[in-house]
Amino acid sequence: MNREPIRCVEPELYSSQLSGSGLEEARAILLGKYSEKELDSALEDKIREHLGRCDCCTQFLKDFENADLTNSSEMVIDARCPSSLKVDRFVFHRDQLSRTETERIDQHVAECEFCKEEIVWLKNLQAEKVIDFIPQKRDWTKILSIAAAIFFVLVSAILYQQKISTRTTEQRLQSLAQVKEPDQINFDALRVSSVALPQDLDRLYEEGVNSIKQRRFRDAAKALDRVASARPDHSGAIYLLGYSYYQLRELDKAFAFCDRAEQMRPHNMERCLSLVHIALKTGHYGRAIREICGLYHEAPDQPQVKELYEQITSITRGQTIKL
């Protein structure tokens, strides 16, 4: 006999903060920011009080934060890895992290080859050489004026070139992204790698899938949000919800849900590769790089993975990009 799923006791807490969003996406965004300590103190206190009386959201947050507590020895980029923002602070602004966070990341980097590569990459970006122009000291005003003018032109040219190079790099990365059309999605693979659903939720999930196939993405998002709210561990519903939001041009939600779905086990190549493309499309370049590196180390002979890895590394090597 199936037990009634535990539900949030205070859903209006989330809807009041993110009006126009369904419970599932609002909860995922707010609890994600709560976990990363990115909320203001007043809202953080409200969330903390709510967690004290809501078993559903407490379990949701626990699953989200403890996705790394597995005994798997697979070398996979997943929830164990700190966010790109925390890695950046760890490398360049350690004073912005608590001692506990610093020690945790330190220990993680010692065990994780992918984060170690990312840190080396960040340090190399900072270490780019800059041309220093030192004008000769002369007594003649005219020579000094000419030297100052040359210096100004050189610095302006360097800064302009760096700006153009950065913009071009990001544009080239975005041009690699190819988000699948509905008829290209392997829905069977998504179902196989997701947990089983009771009959009523399974019917609702199929309704969402059929809406995607018919390009009715708003209807798909509504149906899949209800499935994800009842079963926040269903990777297929979470991923397809993110895909629907991408098609609706709600890019922050799209990335958040696809990123969350990719972290669920068992891993699924459909979700993993899709995350790389959506991360590139939505400007999350650091996350895309980490994911493709993880995929390449796990499946270097997979043609799609190998090609995309080589393209991304070729574009980013020696370049400064927005993380």
Please state the rounded mean pLDDT for residues 186-199: 91
> 94 vs 80, 136, 209, CA distance in Å?
19, 39, 45
CB 11 within 8 A of CB 37: no
Please state the rounded mean pLDDT for residues 127-156: 57
Encode pLDDT of 66-112 as tens digits. Answer: 654 443 333 333 445 676 677 778 888 888 888 888 888 888 788 77
Count other C-beta atoms under 10 Å from residue 184's C-beta: 9
Above pLDDT 90, what percent of the chain? 25
CB 48 within 8 A of CB 57: no
Encode pLDDT of 216-244 as tens digits. Answer: 999 999 999 999 999 999 999 999 999 99
**Reported confidence tier of residue 183, pLDDT bands at 50, 70, 90:** very high
- Classify residue 11 by its DSSP letter: T
pLDDT of residue 32 exceeding 90, the answer is no
CB 221 within 8 A of CB 215: no
Q: Tell me, rounded to whole angstroms, the distance of Cα 112 from its chain centroid.
A: 18
pLDDT of residue 26 exceeding 70, the answer is yes
Encode pLDDT of 147-159 as tens digits. Answer: 666 766 676 666 5
Predicted local confidence at residue 293, as pLDDT: 87
Please state the rounded mean pLDDT for residues 199-221: 95
Encode pLDDT of 245-275 as tens digits. Answer: 999 999 899 899 999 988 888 877 888 888 8
User: Between 280 and 87, where is the model more confident?
Assistant: 280
pLDDT of residue 131 exceeding 50, the answer is no
Nearest to 224, CA basis, from 235, 214, 215, 33: 235
List domains and CATH numbers for the chain: 12-65 (no CATH), 182-283 (1.25.40.10)
The region of weakest confidence among 31-40, 74-83, 117-126, 283-292 is 74-83
Q: What gap in Å lies between CA 236 and CA 51, rounded to an integer?
A: 26
Element (H, E) at 236: helix 235-247
Average pLDDT, the chain: 79
CB 223 within 8 A of CB 205: yes
